[in-house]
Amino acid sequence: MMVRAERSRWQAFGQGFVAHGFTMYPVLLLLVIVGAVVAPRFLSTINLINILEQVSVLGLTTIGLSFVVLIGRLDLSLEGIVGFAPMLAAVLMASASAGGYGVELPGWAGLLVALGSAGLIGFFNGFMVVRVGLNPFISTLGLLVLLRGSILIISNGRSIYSPGAALTYLGSAKIAGLPVSVLVFLAVAVLVGCIFQYHRYGRALYAIGRNEEAARAAGIDVDRVIWSAFVFAGLLAGLAGVLMTGRLDSAVTTQGEGIIFSAFAAAVIGGVSLGGGKGNIIGVVSGVLLIGVINNLLTLAQVPSFYVQASTGAVIIVAAVLTTLASRRSSGVKTRT
Amino acid sequence: MVVEPKAPIVEMRQITKTFGSTRALRGVDFTVLPGEIHALLGRNGAGKSTLVSCLSGIVAADSGRVRIGQADIIANGESYAAALRDEIAHVQQTPRLFDLLTVAENLFLENPAVRRRGWVSHRQMIARAAQVLETWGIEISPTALAGQLGAGTRQLLEIIKALNRGVPVMILDEPTAALSNAEKRVLFDHVRALKAQGVSFVYISHHLDEVFEIADTVTILRDGQTVTERAAVSSLDVETIADLMMGQKTQRSVREDFTDASAPPLLEARGLRLGKGTVDFQVRKGEIVALAGPVGSGKEDLAMILAGHKAPLGGRVFSPSGKLPVIGLVPTDRHASGYVGLLGVRENVTLGGLDLLSGGLGFIDRGREAAHVGDLARRTNVIAASLEQPVGQLSGGNQQKVVFARALCRDPQVIVALSPTRGVDVGAKEQLYGLLRDLAAKGMGVVVVSDEEDEISQLANRVVIVFEEEIVGELVGDYSMKDLILRMEGVA
Ligand SMILES: Nc1ncnc2c1ncn2[C@@H]1O[C@H](COP(=O)(O)OP(=O)(O)OP(=O)(O)O)[C@@H](O)[C@H]1O
Ligand SMILES: [Mg+2]
C-alpha cells in the first residue's frame, strides 16, 4: 500500500514536471556540466552572458512563433520580418551617403517604423488566414520569400551600418554588465508566460488550439484571437530583428536567414506541439537555451565549423525525440478525444 | 423433447479496469446469448462504456477473462483487440468518422468487399454505398464528405459501417442519443432483422422506453459492479430499472410556469428567414420554450440564430430593451463543439465565462474561478476524479453536464440548449431540469430544442412547432402529453 502511494506520488511529480515544461532542464544542466569539463572557459560569466545575448533574438522569435503554433497555425514569414523590419527602419534613418533614402527619420521614429511594420505584416498574415481563408503554411511561405526579396529591393542589396543609436540601443547597450537585449528577452518571456497561463487570452489560445469549434460555441471570438496571434507573432519577430540589428550595429541584408528553422526546433524541443494547444513558455525558453548552449559548446570545443551545423541538427533530433518520449510516457492513460 | 439451453456467445468473467485513481470496473461478469439483445444500463460513470470497450478490446482489461465465440482471452492489461477483430463490432459513444473522407469511403474503409488484389475499386464502392444508403432510407450522396453531415446521419453511418462487417456480436453504445424518432425506427428495424439472423447485440441507452421496445435481457451496473445480472425485460418496469440504476428513488418532476408576461421579451426575432418562409419568435423572462419538429425542419438553425452563432438569410434578432442579453449555448454535438477534450473540467467551464471571471487587465481571478466552477459543477452534478481531470476522460453523460455548466458560466439571461440532456442518466436529467426551472424562476429565459416528448412536457411552458423552416403551430400553458404527441407527429 505504502509503496503504491509512493510510486503514484512520483508519477504525479513526473507528470507535473513534463506538463509544466521542465523536461529539458535536466538535459540542459547535464550539458552545462559537460561544457564545464571539456571547455573551462564555458562557465565564465562573460561566456554565459554571451550565450544569453546570442539566444535573445532566437528567443523572441520563438515566443512569437509559439503564439501561432499554440492555435494550431504557423508563421514562416517571421524570418522575413526579422530582416525586413529593421532594414526598413534603417533605410529611412540613414543618410543618403550611408545607403539610406535621405529621409533621415529621428531614431525613435525608426524604432516605431520597425515595430509598426512588423505588426502590420502580422496583421496582413492574420487577414489572409482569417478572412481570405488561406492555409497559413502557403500564405506565410509566400510572404517570407516576398520579404526576403523586398529587403534586397529597399536596401539596394547593401547592408546599412550604424543606422542610429535609438534603433541599436536595445541590442547593444548594457545595464550593470547585463545586455539590455537579455533583459528584454527575459521580460517578454515572463510577461508572455503569465499571459499564456493566467490571462483569458491564453486560455482562449489553448482552447482554440485543441478544439476550435468548442471554443467558438463557448462564446470566444475565435477569429479575433487568431488574427491577433499573428499580430503578436509579427511584433515579437520585429523586436527580435531590432535586437539583432543593434548587436551587429547594422541592418544586414541576410539578417535572420534560417532563424525560423531554429525557432521551430526550439519550440518542439521545449514541448510545444505543432498540432496546437500544447506547450508553454518555460518549455520554449528551455528549447532556446538548449540550442544556444549547444552552438556555444561546439564553437568552444573548436569543432570545425563545417561540423557545427550538422551536429546542431543531430542534437535537435535527439532532443525532440526525448521531449516526445517524455510527454508520451507522462500522459500515461490515453485520453479519449 | 428437451430444449437445449443455447451456449453463450459472449462470456466476461471478473473483469477489472482501473484508470489512474478511478476503479471503473471491479470484477464484472457479463454474458450474452446468440441472437439476444442485451441492454446494459447504469447511471453516468457506472462503467458501461468501459465494460463494452473491454469486450471489443478498444480498452484492454486489467484482469479477468473475455470469450467471444472461439476467441478466448485472459486479460492482463495488454491489448487484445486484434484477436477479436472478426468476432465483434463496436459503435462507440464518441463518433469516429473521418470528416475529410466521403460517405462511401467511410463506409467501406478496410472492407475487403471493395478490394481487388489489394486495389480499391472506387466505382464499385460508390455503387455499393448508394445501395446501402437506399436500404436505410438515407437521402445523401455517397460522395458527400462525412464532415458536412448532421449528427443523426453521422451516427447512422457509424452504425451502418459496423453492421456491414457481418460479425456475430455488435455493441451499440447510446446509438439513439443523436437520432430522431424516424431514424430510430429505421435502426430498430435493421437491428431486429439481424437478430432474426442470430446476431447478438449489447445495447446501451439512457432511454429506458427503448429498452422495453427492443431488448430481451437487462444487466445493470453501478459504480463498476453488477447490481442486476441477466434479468428478463418482462420482469421489470421503468421505475424499477431507474431505481436500480441510481441506487435510490427518482422522482419525475413536472413543469412549472414562471413566465413573466408583463415584462418585455428578453429576446425577439422578427422576419427571420431560415429558408422559404419567415419566422417571428420571442422569449420572455422566466419562460421555458421548446422548439420541436422533425429533422431538417430548421429548429436547430433557428436556435443557433437566436444564440447568435449563425447568421439568418434575412430578418433580425434583437432585444426590446436595446442591448442583447447574455446568451449561453449548449450545442447539439458535444464531441464537435461542446468541450475541449484535453483540457480539464475547470478550464472547460471557464471558457464559457472568461470575461466574467477575469479582472480589469484580463487576468483570470483564480480564486473566483475555483469557487464559481466548483459551484456550477455541483449544480450540474458533474462526476469527475477532480476538476482538473481532462473532459475527454469523463463518461459521456458527465461530458454533457460539463457542456451545460459551461453554458451557465457567464450567468446568462437566456440559455439556448440543443438536446441538452443527451446521454444524461434519468437521475441527473431530473437534476438538470430542476436547475433550469430554478433559473427560470429567477428570470432567465430558456429555449430548448428537443426530440423527446417527455423532456418537452416536463420542461416547456410553450412548445413551438417548426416545420419546413416555418413555425406552424404552438402549444401554450396547460397542454397534455396527448396534444403534444399529436402535434409532433402531425408534422413528422
Ligand atoms: N480514459 C480514461 N481515463 C480516466 N478515466 C476514465 C477513462 N475512461 C473512463 N474513465 C472513468 O471511468 C468511469 C466509467 O466511465 P464510463 O465511460 O465507462 O461510464 P458510462 O457508464 O459509459 O457512463 P455514461 O452513461 O455517462 O456514458 C468514469 O468515472 C470515467 O471518468
Ligand atoms: Mg458511456
Give the residue with greater pLDDT, B381 vs A320.
B381
Question: Which CATH number characterizes residue B89's domain?
Answer: 3.40.50.300
> Taking CA atoms, what residue in A is nearest to B402?
A218
Q: Is B16 helix (H, G, I), strand (E, B) or coil?
A: strand
Q: Which residues of B touch A211 (CB under 8 A)?
A: 337, 339-341
Q: Does B22 touch chain A (CB under 8 A)?
A: no
Residues 6+ apart with CB under 8 A from A220: A204, A207, A208, B351, B354
Q: Which residue would you say has higher pLDDT here, B379 or A103?
A: B379
CA proximity to A209, closest of B106, B60, B238, B343: B343
pLDDT for res B321? 86
In the 3-class helix/strand/coil scheme, how is B94-140 assigned residue by residue?
CCCCCCCCEHHHHHHCCCHHHEECCEECHHHHHHHHHHHHHHCCCCC
B231/B309 same-domain check: no
Is the domain of B93 the same as that of B49?
yes
What are the residues whose beta carbons fall under 8 Å from the beta carbon of B258, sequence distance 6 or more? B286, B287, B437, B440, B441, B443, B461
- In one letter, which amino acid is A146? L
Ligand 1 atom having least distance to the Cα of B53: 18
For chain A, the residue count is 337
Nearest Cα residue to B282 out of B428, B471, B123: B471
B291 and B218 in a common domain: no
| Per-residue confidence band for B218, with pLDDT thresholds at 50, 70 and 90 | very high
Based on the domain organization, do B298 and B420 belong to the same domain? yes
DSSP H stretches of helix in A94-221: 107-127, 136-155, 165-172, 180-198, 200-210, 212-217
- Measured N-to-C along each axis, helices A259-269 and A45-70 cross at an angle, to the nearest 10 degrees, of 80
B309 and B237 together in one domain: no
Structure confidence at residue A158 (pLDDT): 92
Q: Which residue of A has its CA nearest to B418?
A: A217
Ligand 2 center to A170 CA (angstroms): 57
Q: Where residue A89 falls among pLDDT bands split at 50, 70, 90?
A: very high
Is A287 a residue whose pLDDT tops 90?
yes
Note whether residue B3 is domain-resident.
Answer: no
How many other CB atoms sit within 10 Å of the CB of residue B124? Answer: 15
- The mean pLDDT value of chain B amounts to 90
- Greatest mean pLDDT among A30-44, A311-325, B31-45, B476-490 lies in B31-45
Ligand 1 atom 12 nearest Cα: B24
Q: What is the pLDDT of residue B178?
A: 81
Flag whether B258 is in a domain.
no
For residue B307, give the nearest of B446, B157, B415 by alpha carbon: B415
Question: Do B351 and A215 count as a contact with CB atoms less than 8 A apart?
Answer: yes
pLDDT, residue A329, reads: 66
- Taking residues A82-105, what's their average pLDDT? 89
* Rounded (to 5) percent helix, strand, coil in chain A: 75, 5, 20
Show the domain range for B346.
265-488
Q: Is residue B310 part of a domain?
A: yes
State percent of chain B over pLDDT 90.
59
Place of cell 521545449: A270
SS3 for A289? helix
d(CA B6, CA B3): 9
Q: Are B151 and B332 in contact (CB under 8 A)?
A: yes
Same domain for B177 and B278, yes or no, is no
Q: The C-alpha cell of B231 is what?
A: 434479468
Give the number of the ligand closest to the Cα of residue B393: 1
Query: Phi and psi dihedrals of B292, rounded to 5?
Result: -125, 160
Out of A10-19, A216-225, B264-273, B417-426, which region has the weakest mean confidence (pLDDT)?
A10-19
pLDDT tens digit string along A9-49?
Answer: 777 777 777 778 888 888 899 989 988 888 888 989 999 99
Is B349 part of any domain?
yes
Query: Domain ends where: B216, B246, B276?
Result: B246
In a domain, B38, yes or no: yes
Q: Which of B231, B237, B245 is nearest to B47 (CA)?
A: B245
Instruction: Report the pLDDT averaged over residues B174-202.
Output: 90
Q: What's the number of CA atoms in the CB half-sphere (13 Å) around residue A254? A: 1
Residues B275 and B161 in one domain: no
Of A199, A218, A335, nearest to B406 by CB-CB distance is A218
Q: In terms of domains, do B160 and B228 share one? A: yes
CA dist B317 and B281 (Å) reads: 9
pLDDT at A5: 47
B137 in the same domain as B242: yes
In this structure, are B228 and B276 located in the same domain? no
Within a domain: B259 = no
In whole angstroms, give the CA distance from residue B17 to residue B237: 30
**Residue B28 pLDDT exceeds 80:** yes
Question: Within its chain, how far is the Cα of B15 from the centroid?
Answer: 26
Do B295 and B369 sit in the same domain of this protein? yes
Which pLDDT belongs to residue B492? Answer: 57
The β-bridge relationship of strands B63-68 and B10-19 is: antiparallel
Of B21, B352, B392, which is closest to A218 when you measure between CB atoms?
Answer: B352
Distance CA B69, CA B83 (A): 11
Determine the residue among B342, B373, B408, B414 to mutate to test chain A binding: the one whose Cβ has the most chain A Cβ atoms within 10 Å: B342
Please indicate whether, in this complex, the C-beta atoms of B341 and A211 are within 8 angstroms of each other: yes
Confidence of residue B115 (pLDDT cuts 50, 70, 90): low
Which chain A residues contact residue B350 at CB under 8 A? 203
B116 pLDDT band (50/70/90 cuts)? Answer: low
Q: Is-contact B277 B430, C-beta < 8 A?
A: no
Q: How far apart are CA B368 and CA A108, in angstroms?
A: 43
Look at residue B5 and tell me if it is in a domain: no
Q: Could you read off the pLDDT of B278-287 as tens digits, one per residue? A: 899 999 999 9
Residue B1 placed within a domain: no
Tens digit of each residue's pLDDT (9 = 90 or more) over B385-414: 999 999 999 999 999 999 999 999 999 999
In B165-216, DSSP assigns E strands to 169-173, 200-204
Q: Which domains does chain A have, with CATH numbers?
A: 22-330 (1.10.3470)
Beta-carbon contacts of B225 under 8 Å, excluding residues fewer than 6 positions away, are B26, B27, B28
Angle at B76 between CA B71 and CA B81, to 5 degrees: 45
> How far, in Å, CA of B286 to CA of B445, rounded?
5
User: What are all long-range contacts of A222-229, with beta carbons under 8 Å and residues at least 24 apart?
Assistant: A223/A130, A225/A71, A225/A201, A226/A71, A226/A73, A226/A126, A226/A129, A226/A130, A227/A123, A227/A126, A227/A127, A227/A129, A227/A130, A228/A126, A228/A201, A229/A67, A229/A68, A229/A70, A229/A71, A229/A73, A229/A126, A229/A205
- Dihedral of CA A51/A23/A198/A69: which sign? positive
Contact B354 A204 (CB under 8 A): yes
Tens-digit pLDDT profile for residues A179-195: 999 999 999 999 999 99
- Boundary residue ending a domain (B195, B212, B246): B246
Distance CA A218, CA A223 (A): 13
Q: Whose alpha carbon is nearest atom 7 of ligand 1?
A: B393
Ligand 1 site residues (CB inside 6 A) read A 333, 336; B 19-20, 22, 24, 42, 44-50, 93, 393-398, 423, 425
* Residue A2 in this model has a pLDDT that exceeds 50: no
Q: How confident is the model at residue A1 (pLDDT cuts 50, 70, 90)?
A: very low
Report the complex ipTM: 0.84
Residues B111, B231, single domain; the answer is yes
Spatial CA neighbour of B25 closest among B52, B6, B5, B1:
B52
Measure the CA–CA gap between A130 and A39, rounded to whole angstroms.
50
Quick check: B393 and A215 CB within 8 A? no
- Chain A CB contacts of B390 under 8 Å are 335, 337
Q: Report how far apart, in Å, the C-alpha atoms of A59 and of each of A62, A107, A243, B356 are.
A: 5, 25, 11, 33
- Taking only Cα atoms into account, the Rg of chain B, rounded to an integer number of angstroms, comes to 23
Q: Which residues of A228-265 are buried (b: 16+ CB within 10 A; e: fewer)?
A: bbbbbbbbbbbbbbbbbbbbbebbbbebbeebbebbbb
The helix/strand count (H/E) of chain A reads as 14, 4
Taking the CA of residue B20 and the nearest CA in chain A, the distance in Å comes to 7
Give the mean pLDDT of B18-41.
Answer: 94
Domain boundary among B246, B273, B295: B246
CA angle A125-A131-A136, nearest 5°? 40
Residue B191 contacts residue B37 (beta carbons within 8 Å): yes
Residues of B in contact with A70 (CB under 8 A): none
Structural domain total, chain B: 2
